[in-house]
Structure 1
Amino acid sequence: MKGLNDHIRIAGGKPLEGTISIQGSKNAALPMMAASLLHRGVSVLKGCPRIADVLCMEEILQRLGAVTWWEGHDLYMDCTDADKTEIPAAFTGKMRSSVVLLGAMLSRSGRGYLGYPGGCVIGKRPIDLHLMVLRSLGAEIEERPQGIAASCKRFQGAEVTFPKRSVGATQQGILAAVLARGETELLNCACEPEVKWLCVYLRSMGAVIRGEGTSRILITGIESLGAGNMQVPPDRIVAGTYICAAAITRGKIVLENHPEGELDAFLEVYRKMGGQYQGKSGKLIVDGTGIKNPVAFLETEVYPGFPTDLQSPLMAVLATIPGKSRIREQIFEDRYKAAEELVRMGAHIRIEGRDALIEGGYPLRGCRVYARELRGGAALILAALAAEGTTCVEGYSFIRRGYEHICQDLGISGVEGTEIYESIQLP
Structure 2
Amino acid sequence: MDSILVRGGGPLSGEIPISGAKNTCLKLMGAALLTDEPLTLTNVPRLSDIGTLATLLASLGVEVARLQEGVVMVLSARQLTSHTAEYDIVRKLRASFNVLGPLLAREGRAIVSLPGGCAIGARKVDLHLMALEAMGASVELREGYVHATAPGGRLKGAEIAFPFVSVGATENALTAATLAEGTTVIRNAAREPDTVDLARCLSEMGARIAGAGTSTITVEGVDRLHGTTHAVIPDRIELGTYMTLPGICGGEVECLGGRRDLVDAFASKLEQAGLLVVETSRGLKVARDGERVRAVDVKTAPFPGFPTDLQAQMMAMMCTADGTAVLEETIFENRFMHAPELIRMGAQVDVQGGHATVRGVGRLKGAPVMATDLRASISLILAGLAAQGETRVARVYHLDRGYEQVVAKLRGVGADIERVSDNG
TM range (shorter): over 0.9
Q: Which amino acid aligns with 2:39?
A: S
Q: Which residue of 1 aligns with 2:79?
A: 81
Instruction: Give the Cα–Cα distance (whole angstroms) in 2 for the partners of residues 400 and 296 of structure 1.
Output: 30
Give the CA deviation at 1:414.
2.8
Of 46, 51, 55, the match for 2:47: 51
TM-score, normalised relative to structure 2:
0.96
Give the CA deviation at 1:92.
0.5
8 Å Cα contact 2:21-2:232 kept in structure 1:
yes
3-state secondary structure, aligned to 2:190: coil
Instruction: Give the Cα–Cα distance (whole angstroms) in 1 for the partners of residues 389 and 322 of structure 2.
Output: 21
Instruction: Give the Cα–Cα distance (whole angstroms) in 1 for the partners of residues 203 and 291 of structure 2.
Output: 42
8 Å Cα contact 1:39-1:80 kept in structure 2:
yes
Q: Which residue of 1 aligns with 2:366?
A: 366
CA offsets per residue over residues 266-298 of structure 1, 9 Å max, x none? 111100111001112132111024363433532
Change (3 A) 1:96 1:291: farther
Give the CA deviation at 1:146.
1.9
Of 98, 101, 115, the match for 1:100: 98
Q: Which residue of 1 aligns with 2:117?
A: 119
Q: Which residue of 1 aligns with 2:352?
A: 352
8 Å Cα contact 1:277-1:287 kept in structure 2:
yes
Q: Which residue of 2 aligns with 1:245?
A: 245
Q: Which residue of 1 aligns with 2:198?
A: 198
8 Å Cα contact 2:295-2:360 kept in structure 1:
no
CA offsets per residue over residues 77-124 of structure 1, 9 Å max, x none? 111123311111110111111111001111111111111101101112
Give the CA deviation at 1:399.
1.3
8 Å Cα contact 2:328-2:355 kept in structure 1:
yes
Q: Which residue of 2 aligns with 1:18?
A: 14
Q: Which deviates further from its counterpart, 144-153 or 312-321? A: 144-153
Instruction: Give the Cα–Cα distance (whole angstroms) in 2 for the partners of residues 353 and 409 of structure 1.
Output: 35
Structure 1, unpaired ranges of 5+: 421-427
Q: Which residue of 2 aligns with 1:282?
A: 282
Q: Which residue of 2 aligns with 1:151?
A: 149
Question: How many aligned residue pairs are there?
Answer: 416
Q: Which residue of 2 aligns with 1:415?
A: 416
RMSD of equivalent CA atoms: 1.3
3-state secondary structure, aligned to 1:401: helix
8 Å Cα contact 1:407-1:415 kept in structure 2:
no
3-state secondary structure, aligned to 1:100: helix
Give the CA deviation at 1:218.
0.6
Give the CA deviation at 1:74.
0.4
Change (3 A) 1:36 1:344: same
Instruction: Give the Cα–Cα distance (whole angstroms) in 2 for the partners of residues 138 and 56 of structure 1.
Output: 30
Q: Which residue of 2 aligns with 1:424?
A: none
Instruction: Give the Cα–Cα distance (whole angstroms) in 1 for the partners of residues 259 and 35 of structure 2.
Output: 28
8 Å Cα contact 2:255-2:284 kept in structure 1:
yes
Give the CA deviation at 1:199.
0.3
Instruction: Give the Cα–Cα distance (whole angstroms) in 2 for the partners of residues 364 and 145 of structure 1.
Output: 48
Give the CA deviation at 1:401.
0.8
Instruction: Give the Cα–Cα distance (whole angstroms) in 2 for the partners of residues 246 and 52 of structure 1.
Output: 28
Instruction: Give the Cα–Cα distance (whole angstroms) in 1 for the partners of residues 60 and 246 of structure 2.
Output: 42
Instruction: Give the Cα–Cα distance (whole angstroms) in 2 for the partners of residues 51 and 140 of structure 1.
Output: 35
Q: Which amino acid aligns with 1:154?
A: R
Q: Which amino acid aligns with 1:261?
A: D
Structure 1 position 383 matched with structure 2 position 383 = yes
Give the CA deviation at 1:315.
0.2
Give the CA deviation at 1:366.
1.4
TM-score, normalised relative to structure 1:
0.95
Of 23, 26, 30, the match for 1:27: 23
Q: Which amino acid aligns with 2:114?
A: Y
Q: Which deviates further from its counterpart, 358-367 or 268-277? A: 358-367
